[in-house]
Every structure is written in C-alpha cells, then in structure tokens.
A and B are shown apart, each in its own frame.
Chain A
C-alpha cells in the first residue's frame, strides 16, 4: 500500500494545490473551443490531481475519496455521454456526431446546438480519460495487486 506521507511539507502544499489543479482541469475542459486544450487534456490534468493525491494522502485515502466503483462508473459514463450525443444525431436523421440537428430537441438555434454538442462530447472524453488514467496509474504503481507498490 502506498502510505500516507509523513512529510509535513509535501502533505500541506499538496493539500493546498490539489483543488486549484482540479479547477484548472475543469477550466481546460470547459474552454476547449477558445484556448488550447479540450477533453483529453483536461481529463489528464484531473488525473494528475489524483496522482498528487496518491502521493500526498496515500492510496488508501485516495481510494476512499474516489472509489473503485465510482471509477468504473465514470469510465463508462464518459463513453455513454459520447455515444449518445452521436446517436441522438443519428436518430434525428443526420450523420453520426452532426450536432446541428440537435436544435430540434434543445432550446437553441443550430449554431448554439453545435456548440453544446461539441461541449458534451468534450465532457464525455474528459470523464473517461480521467477515470482510465487514474486506474492505469494505480494498476501500474502497485503491479495490479493494489497492495504493495512504489
């Protein structure tokens, strides 16, 4: 098990910096259209904040905050959001991921609907990337046993 660090400095500084990093990840996801970044990058930053949490608070505490079950739910929820945004377009009679027809069910004109569709795709990608990155990291550092490691 990756233990809680006994080192006061690293623990305190990480505690202060983790919320800021998480908020930055969400910012990158939300502003994917106007600045560099998007779903994948934002998801990676969110995963990085969880890696920092593993360093600072230990694996046990991290798993209590972000459980295995929640991780599985998130990693499939992202794909679900992605796929259903595409399928809605298909069901409304356009191509896969052709967002502009979403204006039929959303209270928005086609340009705004394209915008919202793109945003929901990015949210889906971000959620999946975050969950998969976190589980990859935990599997790698513990050799898949979630016990001893690093």
Chain B
C-alpha cells in the first residue's frame, strides 16, 4: 500500500510540473493564476499522501488545511489584483 501511495504522489508531482508549463508560458496573466492554482491542488493531495507515508497524518493534515486556505485566499486576491479598476 505504501508503494501505491508513493507512486500516486510521484504521478501527481509529474502532473504538477505539467501544470507549471501554463504558469510559466501562459499567454495571459489569468492563465498563470490558474496554473499556480492547479499546482496548489496537486500539492494539497501530495501533502496528505506524505502524511500517510511518514505515518504522521495528524500532523500533515493541519498543514494541508492551511495550504487549502492559503490557496483559496491567494486565488481571490490575485483575481482581484489583476482586474484593474474594478470591484471583484
């Protein structure tokens, strides 16, 4: 089972790197934002998987929840920041 979880987290890392392509080369600013957001979703799952692999789920779960909150607030703030002269 541990090997399965490890494989899943490696696969997710590959997906995160693929999403990073849009974050770097995205034609518009908004593409970059959702690229970063997509990397964030994969990182969230990887954090919990790491908790299972290191047998410290109760510890990593707090970090994952914090990561989810930061991702949420970051997305909203970036969306608001890149929309000039407007109210979100």
Task: Tell me the A residues contacting B by CB distance below 8 Å.
Answer: 3-7, 10, 17, 21, 24, 28, 35-37, 41, 45, 48, 51-52, 55, 150
A51 touches B87 (CB 8 A): no
Please determine whether A55 and B80 come into contact, CB atoms closer than 8 angstroms: yes
Chain A hits for B15, CB < 8 A: none
CB-based contact B88/A52 at 8 Å: no
When each residue 34-78 of chain B gets 1 if its CB lies under 8 Å from chain A and 0 otherwise, what string results?
000000000000000000000000110011011001101100110
Q: Are B58 and A35 in contact (CB under 8 A)?
A: yes
Is B21's beta carbon under 8 Å from chain A?
no
Residues of B within 8 A of A (CB): 58-59, 62-63, 65-66, 69-70, 72-73, 76-77, 80-81, 87-88
Q: Which residues of A contact B88 (CB under 8 A)?
A: 5, 7, 10, 55
- Measured in the bound complex, the distance between the Cα atoms of B69 and A14 in whole Å is 11
Evaluate contact between A150 and B81: CB separation under 8 angstroms. Answer: yes
Chain A, Cβ-Cβ closest to B66? A45
A11 → chain B closest CB, angstroms:
10
Question: Do the beta carbons of B80 and A24 come within 8 Å of each other?
Answer: no
* Chain A residues positioned under 8 Å from B72 (CB to CB): 17
Report the Cα distance A7→B76, complex, angstroms: 12
